[in-house]
Amino acid sequence: MSALSAESTVRVANTGESLAVELRGVTKTYGSGSTSVHALRGVDLEVKKSELVMLVGPSGCGKTTLVSIISGVLGADSGVAKLFGIDWSTLGNEQQTLRRGELVGFVFQQFNLIPTLSIIENVSVPLLIRGVREREALERAAAALTSVELGDRTKSLPSQLSGGQQQRVAIARALVGEPRLIVCDEPTASLDGHTGQVVMDLIKDTARSRTDENHRRCVIVVTHDTRIFHYADRIVEMEDGRLKKTLSQHTLEEAAHVPRFAEESPSPDEASKP
Amino acid sequence: MRLPLRADCGWAKGDSGANALGGMYKIALRMLLRDRGKYLALVCGLSFATLLIAQQGSIFLGLVLRSTGVLQNVGQPDLWVVDPSTRYILETRPVGEQFVGRVRSVPGVAWAEPMFSNYANVEFADGTFKRVQLIGIDRTTLIGQPPEMVEGSLEDLRAPDTVLVEESSRPKLNNAKIGDVLRLNDKRAVIVGFCRAKLGFESNAIVYTTFDNAVRFTPVGRERVTFILVGVKPDADRTAVAADIRKFTGLGAFTPEEMSRRTIGFILYETGIGINFGITVLLGFVVGLAVTAAIFYQFTLENLRHFAVLKAMGTRNSVLVRMVLLQAGVVGMIGFGIGCGPAGIFTILGRKPGAELAPYFPWQLLALTLVGMMICIGLGSLLSLRRVITLEPAVVFK
């Protein structure tokens, strides 16, 4: 984490309409009384569209709580949490669910694929939830799987795939509904170096894949994995429920000592080069 | 690596509702049916529960119905006239023969014939004996005759000292055959035929003879008529005729249905059978239903994480509820269907003539079992749904 030294406050990335995520004074406490845990203690954060932001910090610092609130799966106790201008606190449960389905795609550490569904069915689920006819949903799921180089495994069950392949399925599932925000929770934690690189390339491409202003998306990655820091536009470090530091892309590029997948674990292709 | 996706999905265009549900219903069914281990455990558990409920229920109903065996064997009368304090078809107090004439004189009565019913002992050469149900019917009209002759002729019953034996009772009477002589209460009785009839509550062998023979075989006091079987004129109202018989004779007059109800009521409420066997049946019912609810609850719990993922991805609670209910309904119906099979086979085997078990499996029991199953699956689902509805989608990050 030595790369995170330059800036000690979270910088407002942009203003107005270009913001994907806007948090103001967000707090969250679990439990009550003497057993209460203050997961977030007044967090302010802004994330631009097209940005790939990584949240880092020790276990229990509030990273997961923060992305849960950003993505609308958890409510804040106080403060304002907006996603693409929508204040989650102004929506009822039903509306939150619908908006979440529309705006957010998830990639989990443990993939969270439904084991009894084939991978094409897993990928089609977000579309089915949104009312797309099954035939069309499967076609689009097949296209999404092809794009993550799993077009020939559409009938396979998740258990028949390697960890890296399952994570690619999860990415295809996260992207198939064209969400504006992709939330990745430790996406490379269960993967080897090369596979992690492939997955991060995909995620990075995702953030860049839409250029039109109205459909640009951003990616928030929660990670402990220092090997993937170079993929970030910005790294935000958390500690004890607060944002501690932020590190910009420029600073990252200068931080030559940050290890990369390529340095640590060359891909087979690269390894074979003379 | 750009994903070739379309922004104009159905949801965005408002194409939701039935399509969304259809797709998600299929997902729910695939989650259920493709998890073969859990699915088989669910189906087996629910089938067992169904079998337990249906089989226990059918035995209980069969046992209760068996108590009305004598009534079922006599199809001709519109009314049964008995001592007014009679509560059970086999617990009777005979009335005098003069009452037969009095009943015949009641307006609306087409015919009235005496019938005798009592126990007698058949003694064997080795010194052992068997208790039999001795039925005496009118020698002239043969009203009260057994429902079906299997061997021999009913007319032969008019000969002196003759009896018919209920077919399934043969083994109880040392595999008797036509022409054999029974020692009935120390009197000679010649077997002239075999008939088919419902056994009574105590499963005693049934022996038919004429009223006069019956009285001779089993001497009683001056009152010798156990039942007076009454036929009502076609244009008469049998309820009104019954009321008149009660009024003019002081005896009890009941339709066969009323007599059945009295008998069943006696078995249920006046003996320990109702409470004892009822508790056993109820326990089977409760265990079956509890198993059903617990199994389905467990199934949903094991899928809770998947439901959380679906919820995080935008599935509304109402859709999740319908998915769970669909899973419950499908697995419930399959389990019910499979469970009914062995219950039906058990019933068929148990209803063989002479079988000591007499399961009775009417459609009402089938419907009741289905309703019970659905209530319990519903209960299991409700418990599950409470978890699904209150599920924080944030658990997907844990």
For chain B, the domains span 18-66+273-397, 79-254
Selected residue with higher pLDDT from A3 and B368: B368
CB A195 within 8 A of CB A164: yes
d(CA B338, CA B373): 13
Q: To the nearest whole angstrom, how far is the Cα of B46 from the nearest Cα of chain A? A: 22
Residue A1 within any structural domain of the chain:
no
Chain A positions in Cβ-Cβ contact with residue B1 (cut-off 8 Å): 147-148, 201-202, 205
CB A94 within 8 A of CB B317: yes
Q: Lowest-pLDDT range, B70-74, B178-182, B225-229, B289-293?
A: B289-293
d(CA B313, CA B389): 15
User: Do the Cβ atoms of B3 and A144 come within 8 Å?
Assistant: yes
Selected residue with higher pLDDT from A18 and B181: B181
Q: Closest CB to A147: pick one of B3, B19, B317.
A: B3
User: Do the Cβ atoms of B7 and A178 come within 8 Å?
Assistant: yes
| Residue B13 confidence (pLDDT) | 40
Q: Lowest-pLDDT range, A27-36, A102-111, B218-227, B344-353?
A: B344-353
For residue B159, the tally of other CB atoms under 10 A from its CB is: 11
Among B140, B181, B177, B148, which residue's Cα sits nearest to residue B162? B181
Give, rounded to a whole angstrom, the gap between the first and last alpha carbons of chain A. 33
| Residue B10 confidence (pLDDT) | 38
Chain B positions in Cβ-Cβ contact with residue A151 (cut-off 8 Å): none
pLDDT of B346 higher than 50:
yes
Residue A179 within any structural domain of the chain:
yes
Tell me the per-residue pLDDT of A150-186, one tens digit each, with 9 for 90 and over: 899 999 999 999 988 998 899 899 989 888 899 998 8
| Residue B137 confidence (pLDDT) | 94
- Structure-block tokens of residue B122: 């058949």
The 10 Å CB-count burial string (b at 16+, else e) for B97-119 is: eebbebbeebebbebbbbbbbbe
Chain A positions in Cβ-Cβ contact with residue B23 (cut-off 8 Å): 124, 127-129, 131-134, 137
Q: Range of A256's domain?
A: 16-261
> Where would I find the H helices in chain B?
18-33, 36-66, 69-73, 98-104, 211-217, 238-249, 256-265, 272-302, 304-312, 317-350, 363-389
- Please report, rounded to a whole number, the percentage of residues in chain A having pLDDT higher than 90: 40
d(CA B316, CA B367): 34
In the stretch 126-145 of chain A, residues with CB closer than 8 A to chain B read 126-134, 136-137, 140, 143-144
Tell me the per-residue pLDDT of A102-118, one tens digit each, with 9 for 90 and over: 899 999 888 899 999 99
Task: Place A254 in a pLDDT band, splitting at 50, 70 and 90.
Answer: low
d(CA B178, CA B159): 14
DSSP A223: -
DSSP B334: H
User: What's the whole-number average pLDDT of chain A?
Assistant: 82
Give, rounded to a whole angstrom, the gap between the first and last alpha carbons of chain B. 30
| Residue B275 confidence (pLDDT) | 82
- Structure-block tokens of residue A163: 């960890």
Cα separations in angstroms, B67 against A34, B199, B225, B259, B280: 69, 9, 21, 11, 19
Selected residue with higher pLDDT from B369 and B2: B369
Residue A99 identity (one-letter amino acid): R
Is the Cβ of A112 closer than 8 Å to some Cβ of chain B? yes
What CATH number is associated with residue A186?
A: 3.40.50.300
User: Do the Cβ atoms of A94 and B317 come within 8 Å?
Assistant: yes
The stretch A111-140 carries a mean pLDDT of: 92
Q: Give SS3 for B165.
A: strand
In the stretch 207-236 of chain A, residues with CB closer than 8 A to chain B read 209, 215
d(CA B198, CA B182): 21
The number of domains in chain A is: 1
User: Do the Cβ atoms of A131 and B2 come within 8 Å?
Assistant: no
Task: Place A215 in a pLDDT band, splitting at 50, 70 and 90.
Answer: low
Q: Closest CB to A132: pick one of B9, B305, B310.
A: B9
In the stretch 30-59 of chain A, residues with CB closer than 8 A to chain B read none
pLDDT of A263 higher than 70:
no
pLDDT of A193 higher than 90:
no
Beta-bridge mates of residue B230? B79, B112
Question: For A65, which residue in chain B has the nearest alpha carbon?
Answer: B394
Among B373, B367, B380, which residue's Cα sits nearest to residue B285? B373
User: Do the Cβ atoms of A132 and B15 come within 8 Å?
Assistant: yes
Task: Identify the residue whose tokens are 């000592």.
Answer: A257
User: Do the Cβ atoms of A73 and B5 come within 8 Å?
Assistant: no
pLDDT of A5 higher than 60:
no
In the stretch 156-195 of chain A, residues with CB closer than 8 A to chain B read 172, 175-178, 185
| Residue B200 confidence (pLDDT) | 79
Residue A10 within any structural domain of the chain:
no
d(CA B140, CA B112): 12
Tell me the per-residue pLDDT of B261-288, one tens digit each, with 9 for 90 and over: 988 888 888 888 778 877 877 887 788 7
Q: Closest CB to B309: pick one of A67, A112, A132.
A: A112
Task: Identify the residue whose tokens are 């799921």.
Answer: A141
**Maximum alpha-carbon separation in chain A:** 63
User: Do the Cβ atoms of B397 and A67 come within 8 Å?
Assistant: yes
Task: Place B11 in a pLDDT band, splitting at 50, 70 and 90.
Answer: very low
Which residues are CB-neighbours of B252 under 8 A, at least 6 positions away?
B81, B82, B83, B84, B85, B86, B246
pTM strictly above 0.90: no
pLDDT of B102 higher than 70:
yes
Tell me the per-residue pLDDT of B39-63, one tens digit each, with 9 for 90 and over: 888 888 888 888 888 888 888 888 8
pLDDT of B8 higher than 50:
no
| Residue B268 confidence (pLDDT) | 85
Residue A199 within any structural domain of the chain:
yes
User: Do the Cβ atoms of A93 and B317 come within 8 Å?
Assistant: yes
Task: Place A16 in a pLDDT band, splitting at 50, 70 and 90.
Answer: very low
Mutate to test the interface with B, among A130, A166, A205, A210 (most CBs of B within 10 A): A130
Which residues are CB-neighbours of A220 under 8 A, at least 6 positions away?
A21, A47, A53, A54, A55, A67, A70, A181, A182, A183, A184
**A234-239 and A52-56 strand pairing:** parallel
Q: Closest CB to B313: pick one of A106, A147, A206.
A: A106
Task: Place A65 in a pLDDT band, splitting at 50, 70 and 90.
Answer: very high
User: Do the Cβ atoms of A131 and B17 come within 8 Å?
Assistant: yes
CB A247 within 8 A of CB A226: no
In the stretch 84-103 of chain A, residues with CB closer than 8 A to chain B read 93-94, 97-98, 100-102
Residue A58 within any structural domain of the chain:
yes
Mutate to test the interface with A, among B8, B11, B305 (most CBs of A within 10 A): B11
Interface size, chain A vs chain B, as Cβ–Cβ contacts under 8 Å? 149
Tell me the per-residue pLDDT of B196-241, one tens digit each, with 9 for 90 and over: 988 877 778 899 999 999 998 987 778 889 999 999 999 999 999 9
Classify residue B236 as left (phi > 0), alpha (psi -120 to 50) or beta: beta
Task: Place A125 in a pLDDT band, splitting at 50, 70 and 90.
Answer: very high
Tell me the per-residue pLDDT of B117-168, one tens digit each, with 9 for 90 and over: 999 999 988 888 999 999 999 999 999 999 999 999 999 999 989 999 999 8
User: Do the Cβ atoms of A126 and B314 come within 8 Å?
Assistant: yes
pLDDT of B308 higher than 80:
yes
